Amino acid sequence: MAIYNGITYIEHKDDTQMIDTPKHNYIRFRLGRLKHAVWLRNRKSSDKIYIDCYDKFILDNIQPGKTCMFGSAGYYLGDLVADLYIVEQWEIVKQIYPDALIVDERTEIADEYGATFSNFVVNNNKGDRFMHGGPTDYCIEYTKSMTDGCLFFYSFRDTQQIFNRLKVDQVAYFYNWASSLRDICGLYLLWHQFEFVQSEDGMYNELENPDTTNGNLKFVFQYNDDSYKINDQALVQCQ
């Protein structure tokens, strides 16, 4: 940060104090939680709920028991999953979904609920971004609140991870990262889907990647088990 002629010049978001009001915090939350827009849409409809194919994919596969959605504005699935627990890191969510658990650190999830979840979902959470070598440390924390056999639905965007994009083959990089979690924290990779821009058909690309909303890199893991058979018909039918 530098101050010159009364102007504060910043390079990082924490270089100077942000305005801390509910309105600003809500806008910041919305910018980073795309699925909040789904909740906004659905709450206006008295007889319909709109979800996308990846939501259907998750619903097709979740197991009996408790489901946790972390950092994903997951309350939009509140009318579709019976035993749903919403965990967020933004206090503002309490005003939207009073039942949400607000945490500062991921360790607090297991502190609050113990190892009780049969399903765990993290959908394109901006809080999981920009980790060297992938978000391994976060995954380790998530497993602490999972029962054996828990399904872990994890998705994010390649554009929000740190690696040398000009030298690294992303398919190998992220597949190897996901596979490594088995030995690190007991997460067995059951299924994955990586999607990238395919063609060189124009100078400008309006879209970032094929699924900016959910993340173009999708994984399903099972905790300390690898026996579950994934049903991906919902995604196949959407293509």
Partner 1 sequence: MHLTGMLNNVMKSISGKEVIITKSPYLHKWGKNFKNIQDRFYPPNTLIRRQKQIEDFMYLNGFTHIFHAEEVRIGFEIKNNNWANSEHDADIILKTDQRLDRATCNDIIAQLDRWLDICPSLYVCLNRHYMNINNAPINLELSDDYQLAIAEWVKQSLPTDFVVDLSWDYIDTGDQFTWSIPDRHFYIKRQ
Q: Does residue 207 belong to the site contacting partner 1 (CB under 8 A)?
A: yes
Closer of 111 and 165 to partner 1 (Cβ)? 165
For 174, the enclosing helix (H) or strand (E) is helix 170-185
Write the interaction track for partner 1 spanning residues 3-32; mark x where CB under 8 A is met and - where it is not: ---xxxxxxxxx-xxxx----x--xx--x-
Closer of 14 and 105 to partner 1 (Cβ)? 14
Among 22, 43, 79, 112, binds partner 1 (CB under 8 A): 79
Smallest gap from residue 223 Cβ to partner 1 (A) = 19
Among 43, 82, 107, 133, binds partner 1 (CB under 8 A): 82
Q: Report d(CA 83, CA 53) in Å as an integer.
A: 21
* Interaction residues for partner 1, span 59-78 (CB under 8 A): 59-60, 62-64, 67
For 3, the enclosing helix (H) or strand (E) is strand 2-4
Kindly write down the DSSP assignment for every residue of 63-115, as one continuous string: PSSEEEEESS-GGGGTTT-TTEEEEES-TTHHHH-TTPEE-SSTHHHHHHH-S
Closer of 94 and 165 to partner 1 (Cβ)? 165
Yes or no: say if 221 and 188 are a contact pair by the CB < 8 Å rule. yes
Smallest gap from residue 59 Cβ to partner 1 (A) = 6
Closer of 122 and 185 to partner 1 (Cβ)? 122
**119-151 burial string, b = 16+ CB within 10 Å, else e?**
bbbbbbbbbbeeeeebbeebbebbbebbbeebb
Smallest gap from residue 12 Cβ to partner 1 (A) = 6
Burial of 71 (0-12, 13-18, 19+ CB in 10 A): buried
Q: Does residue 104 belong to the site contacting partner 1 (CB under 8 A)?
A: no
Q: Does residue 137 belong to the site contacting partner 1 (CB under 8 A)?
A: no
Yes or no: say if 100 and 94 are a contact pair by the CB < 8 Å rule. yes
Yes or no: say if 179 and 147 are a contact pair by the CB < 8 Å rule. no
Q: Does residue 197 belong to the site contacting partner 1 (CB under 8 A)?
A: yes
**Radius of gyration, CA atoms only, the chain:** 19
Among 115, 184, 236, 238, binds partner 1 (CB under 8 A): 238
Q: Report d(CA 128, CA 115) in Å as an integer.
A: 21
Closer of 183 and 229 to partner 1 (Cβ)? 229
Candidate ranges 48-56, 97-105, 146-154, 185-193; the one touching partner 1 (CB under 8 A) = 48-56
Among 104, 105, 169, 183, binds partner 1 (CB under 8 A): 169
Closer of 39 and 113 to partner 1 (Cβ)? 39
